[in-house]
Structure 1
Amino acid sequence: MPSSPPAQPLRIALLQSSGRPGSVAANLTVLDEAAGRAAAAGAALLVTSEMFLTGYAIGEGVHRLAESADGDGADAVADIAARHGLGIVYGYPERDGAQVFNSVQLIDAAGARLANYRKTHLFGGFEQEAFVPGQQPVVQAELGGLRVGLMICYDVEFPENVRAHALAGTDLLLVPTAQMHPFQFVAESLVPVRAFESQMYIAYVNRTGPEGEGADAFEFVGLSCLASPDGATRVRGGQGEELLVGEVDPALLSASRETNPYLRDRRPGLYGSLA
């Protein structure tokens, strides 16, 4: 069943940016500056895009720059979070032995690592060649009185994934993404519908502009958003780099869950064949 939400809204910042692909040091500088602006705006949490720490379309750089969940990159992000006093969710390539995963990590305002998620649905040949798929669909942590869930890009396009989070009580689903042309409809239409049908907030945070070369060249479309359980889009980005700030309102979440019957009216016994 859904958890009982807190009394106070949680202000979050969405960093719509591709950073500086290929340079961890430059991306940490971008993150540090954004964290300062987010904290000044009263945000308690800053969410970046997919693979923000290294860049997405960086070819063999994915494996060269991959590191463990407690590596130097994590330490640097933890320092930024602690200095600015806000939580940070960032995307990065995670090395675990010989395997590399497309991962996101949540670090709290004290610099502690709260949760790490490995992308379960890999999109296209680039990702399927570069990464191993994760096996844990629901990863959660408690932050600011909310039950926060983690997911990455293509994962949110599978309704089963989001519904699993709903049944596990996720209040706010954080989705760093690398959404590219011509799939803008995902950001524009699908994400708000997911928020409505599974009764949660969804923060969908994208990259921007061109990246990569040849067959691995992509045009990221921006359009980051914070969608709410009533199906509305509370915050919407354009196509350029920007820092968006919005609020997760527990009162709206509670009222919407009381009104919307989707989760109560499910008949799981009919759905077994779908698995």
Structure 2
Amino acid sequence: MRIAVFQGPLEGGDVGRNLERLAAVADAAAGRGARLLVCPEMFLTGYNIGAEAVKRLAEPVDGPSAAAAAGIARKCGIALLYGYPEAGPDGRVYNAALLLGPDGARLANHRKTHLFGPDERDAFAPGEGPPTVAGLGGMRLGILICYDVEFPENVRLLALEGVELVAVPTALMEPYQFVARSMVPTRAYENQIFLAYANRCGREGGLVYHGLSCIVGPDGRDLARAPATGEALIVAELDRGLLQASRRLNPYLADRRPALYRALAAERPA
């Protein structure tokens, strides 16, 4: 399966403008043969916009923006994964990512489980479910958001669920370039999966995003990598032959000894 990752937008903006950007990028990605487009964290509204704006712009999972995005998916014939603030039926707001199929149907909605820093904790409630898994084009796909992928347990859980691709909308800022350059390839390698990492770029409310969006193979090598600055659309083919060959060479999942790791599930004091 061929997938695309969008790095951007360069500037924040209102929801309407970002939906227009989504339509243009989805059309470009479909034109390059991609069957899935992964966009960054909080793509629709901007990430560093403050708790009040997050609450004001939050929409339910089936809200008007989701309907507009579903129309884009149908028109372009491409699956979409993008970040947005979700207004939950429980009255809380979640940092979420919505996966739509190429027919516009909702396939999955992931709520970020690991919130980063006081600003996120002021704006969002944490998701409480396990990492999200969906099927797309015969491939098992897992969804995490930004900080979620920095916890190895999350990615390992997905790998044990038979996931072949983990897609990660993110808003990674300076000075955490190490995550994009080194940790993301390591997560792909140690779990023998493909990993798509879609970052923002430019400046927003005092944050500097450093780009470096990537699509990484199970051998830890970049299949495609965006630069540190500027908008970019990268595309790569996910070859199951590479996945199978890499898993034969590096049988981490088969060689696990779960009985030795039981302490990992225990609560530790702060």
TM-score by length of 2: 0.95
Q: Among residues 122, 127, 139, which one is paired with 1:129 in the alignment?
A: 122
Q: Among residues 74, 82, 85, which one is paired with 2:77 in the alignment?
A: 85
Task: Kindly indicate whether the alpha-carbon contact (under 8 Å) linking 1:235 and 1:245 is maintained by their aligned counterparts in 2.
Answer: yes
1:235-246 pair list within 5 angstroms: 235-238=224-227, 239-246=229-236
* Paired letter, 1:221: H
User: Percent of counterpart pairs with the same letter?
Assistant: 55
Q: Which residue of 1 aligns with 2:35?
A: 44
1:18-29 pair list within 5 angstroms: 18=9, 20-29=11-20
Q: CA deviation at 1:19?
A: 5.7
**Secondary structure of the structure 2 residue equivalent to 1:50:** coil
Task: Kindly indicate whether the alpha-carbon contact (under 8 Å) linking 1:12 and 1:247 is maintained by their aligned counterparts in 2.
Answer: yes
**Aligned partners of 2:10, 2:35: CA distance in 1, in Å?**
21
Q: CA deviation at 1:179?
A: 0.3
How many correspondences in the alignment? Answer: 262
Q: Which residue of 2 aligns with 1:180?
A: 173
Q: Provide structure 1 residue ranges, at least 5 long, that are not aligned to the other structure.
A: 1-9
Does residue 220 in structure 1 map to residue 209 in structure 2? yes
Task: Kindly indicate whether the alpha-carbon contact (under 8 Å) linking 2:43 and 2:82 is maintained by their aligned counterparts in 1.
Answer: yes
Q: CA deviation at 1:272?
A: 1.0
Task: Kindly indicate whether the alpha-carbon contact (under 8 Å) linking 2:11 and 2:204 is maintained by their aligned counterparts in 1.
Answer: no
Deviation per CA, 1:86-140, whole angstroms, max 9, x where unpaired? 0000100000132000000100000000000000000011101100000112211
Q: Which residue of 2 aligns with 1:109?
A: 102
State the superposition RMSD in angstroms.
0.9
Task: Kindly indicate whether the alpha-carbon contact (under 8 Å) linking 2:10 and 2:202 is maintained by their aligned counterparts in 1.
Answer: no
* Paired letter, 1:82: R
Task: Kindly indicate whether the alpha-carbon contact (under 8 Å) linking 2:10 and 2:203 is maintained by their aligned counterparts in 1.
Answer: no
**Aligned partners of 2:237, 2:17: CA distance in 1, in Å?**
29
Task: Kindly indicate whether the alpha-carbon contact (under 8 Å) linking 1:20 and 1:27 is maintained by their aligned counterparts in 2.
Answer: no
Q: CA deviation at 1:258?
A: 2.0
Q: CA deviation at 1:20?
A: 4.6
> Structure 2 vs 1, CA of residues 146 and 73 (structure 1 numbering), >3 Å: closer, same or farther?
same
Task: Kindly indicate whether the alpha-carbon contact (under 8 Å) linking 1:21 and 1:57 is maintained by their aligned counterparts in 2.
Answer: no
**Secondary structure of the structure 1 residue equivalent to 2:236:** strand
Q: CA deviation at 1:198?
A: 0.4
**Aligned partners of 1:137, 1:218: CA distance in 2, in Å?**
29
**Aligned partners of 1:106, 1:47: CA distance in 2, in Å?**
9
Q: CA deviation at 1:22?
A: 4.1
Q: Which residue of 1 aligns with 2:183?
A: 190
**Aligned partners of 1:254, 1:144: CA distance in 2, in Å?**
18
Q: Provide structure 2 residue ranges, at least 5 long, that are not aligned to the other structure.
A: 266-270
**Secondary structure of the structure 2 residue equivalent to 1:175:** strand
